[in-house]
Amino acid sequence: MTNATGSTARCFAQPHRHSIFCILPPHVLKSLAENGSADQRRRALETMATDQTIRALRAAMPAPVSRTPAGRRLLEAAEAQKERLIHDAKGRTVLPGAVVRSEGDNPTGDVAVDEAYDGLGATFDFFWDAYGRNSIDDEGMPLIATVHYDQDYNNAFWNSQQMVFGDGDGQLFNRFTIALDVIGHELAHGVTEDESGLVYFYQSGALNESMSDVFGSLIKQYTLRKTADQADWLIGAGLLGDAVDGEALRSMKKPGTAYDDPVLGKDPQPAHMRDYLNTTQDNGGVHINSGIPNHAFYQTAMLIGGYAWERAGRIWYEALRDPSLRPTTTFRRFAILTHMTAGRLYGAGGSEAAAVKEGWKRVGIRV
Amino acid sequence: MRTEGGVAFFPGLARPTVIDLGTLSPADEARMRDLVAAALAAPPAPPPPKGAADYRTTFLSIEDGGDVHQLAISDVDTDPSRRALLDALGELRRAMSRR
């Protein structure tokens, strides 16, 4: 074997690291993929695919975000300006599709349309009632959603302008509008982008995901008027099909326990920094390592007690809006910021700041 | 091909899938080859919009004889050639799962 091939073999022994630590040029990989043994071909293709992931991540890295001062909003809305627009993609992938329900319209009888309409309304009401926030941009931005996207589409996403919901395949997944916290999760991505621009990979991406889970869960808790100890702290309860061994997409209370299924695999979320997963998949594990800040929020909310959106949620929300929050913020930096925010809002020696500190400590992060 | 991303990460769904065009009817194989050629010839995809989240990306390693080509197509990619290929692959996967 040549040195290059030998290097390849060592790299393949670390499947989640080879594309970062290996320096084989693409043409060597391509040659291996085309002319190597069956095993070399398979491994070279895996590496090329992972390298492609890294290139995609680099391409996705935005230019540095110029933060707008927190006091930018000169025009404070005196009243909420809720404006919802629900579209139907009719099984295609062209967005936004045809408008099927606008603000103030009566229910259509289409479950997905009406769930999206109601879910957006509940999310808007939560942000307005709990934090005085007027929609995604705090300036009354219309809430736009598309349902019936694609065929058997097992996903929901935020494309930076609107929410998109699939119907699910009816086997692994039900329709993605079924879970209020998932609707809230998608809309909260817009709030996070507006306030902090947390870059969507590695730790800042996992924080971005965690913020959406935190507010998604709080929206459900607020709507159901559940205290922290009464809440289920699940994300996407009811979304998994009946035949799936699992109860939700994620658990903030017990990360890593939401599902364990022959087809979906086992919930990979860690609850502690000692189990942090270094990976290039999933934009650097944004939906995996979000389990750590998710659990820190759960712990904090339980320590504070009562309605989680009132103090724990307020602390996280104000930390997200803090001008010092950088787009590439790490878990620890965000933890420090939440601790400082708790002190600013409720007193440095108060029980809330102590709860925040203890909450992060329980996931292995010291502030 | 393998698909990453989405509102959650499922290890079981992130495993690569192999589609052998040789198992398709001649007409379907020809259609897929045309779609692949068009997607490969399309302009490079721009980065995902800043702030977009939970979108899925499908990574393709296309082997044809001795050639290997790479493609990445995300849910937020609006290029019609790549979207057409992604839609066709979705149809194929659904057909495979029904067998």
- Model ipTM value: 0.89
Residues A350, A282 share a domain? yes
Residues A56, A81 share a domain? no
Residue A192 belongs to a domain: no
Residues A214, A87 share a domain? no
- If you compute the radius of gyration of chain A from its CA atoms, what whole number of angstroms results? 22
Q: What would the two tokens of residue A248 be?
A: 């939700």
Confidence of residue B94 (pLDDT cuts 50, 70, 90): confident
Residues A221, A356 share a domain? yes
Cβ-based contacts of A268 with chain B (< 8 Å):
9, 11
Residues A213, A123 share a domain? no
Residues A324, A263 share a domain? yes
Identify from A47, A200, A201 which residue to disrupt to test chain B contact, counting B C-beta atoms within 10 A and taking the largest count.
Answer: A200
Judge: B51–A264 Cβ closer than 8 Å, yes or no.
no
Q: Which domain holds residue A356?
A: 202-361
Judge: A56–B87 Cβ closer than 8 Å, yes or no.
no
Least Cα separation, residue A30 to chain B (angstroms):
7
Whichever domain contains A225, its CATH number is 1.10.390.10
What residues does B5 pair with on adjacent strands? B56
**What is the distance of C-alpha A294 from the center of its chain?**
10
Identify from A30, A41, A42, A93 which residue to disrupt to test chain B contact, counting B C-beta atoms within 10 A and taking the largest count.
Answer: A93
Residues A231, A108 share a domain? no
Residues A352, A219 share a domain? yes
Instruction: Say if CB A148 and CB A112 are below 8 A apart.
Output: yes
Residues A92, A37 share a domain? no
Tens place of pLDDT for every residue, chain A, 367 residues? 333 333 333 333 333 333 322 344 344 445 445 555 555 555 545 544 444 544 444 444 444 444 444 444 544 555 778 999 999 999 999 999 999 999 999 999 999 999 999 999 999 999 999 999 999 999 999 999 999 999 999 999 999 999 999 999 999 999 999 999 999 999 999 999 999 999 998 999 999 999 999 999 999 999 999 999 999 999 999 999 999 999 999 999 999 999 999 999 999 999 999 999 999 989 999 999 999 999 999 999 999 999 999 999 999 999 999 999 999 999 999 999 999 999 999 999 999 999 999 999 999 999 9
Nearest Cα residue in chain B from A183: B7
Select the residue of B14, B48, B55 nearest A281 (Cβ to Cβ): B14
Size of interface A-B (CB pairs under 8 A): 141
DSSP labels, A175-240:
-TTS-HHHHHHHHHHHHHHHHT---SSHHHHHHHHHHHHHHHHHHHHHHHT--TTT---EESTT-B
Select the residue of A52, A155, A283 nearest B72 (Cβ to Cβ): A52
Residue A236 belongs to a domain: yes
Whole-number Å distance between alpha carbons of A135 and B89 = 37
Q: Single out the residue of A187, A198, A184, A141 nearest to residue A319, CA to CA.
A: A198
Instruction: Name the phi and psi angles at B49, rounded to 5.
Output: -55, 140
Percent of chain B with pLDDT over 90: 61
- Predicted confidence at residue B99, as pLDDT, reads 61
Nearest Cα residue in chain A from B53: A158
- Predicted confidence at residue B95, as pLDDT, reads 79
Judge: A160–B51 Cβ closer than 8 Å, yes or no.
yes
User: In 10 A of CB A194, how many CB atoms?
Assistant: 19
pLDDT digits (tens, 9 = 90+) for B75-90: 999 899 999 999 899 8
Residues A240, A124 share a domain? no
Residues A97, A24 share a domain? no
- Active-site residue, selected from the candidate residues A115, A186, A193, A352: A186
Residue A331 belongs to a domain: yes
Whole-number Å distance between alpha carbons of A142 and A140 = 6
Nearest Cα residue in chain A from B76: A159
- Predicted confidence at residue B65, as pLDDT, reads 84
Residues A345, A212 share a domain? yes
Residue A197 belongs to a domain: no
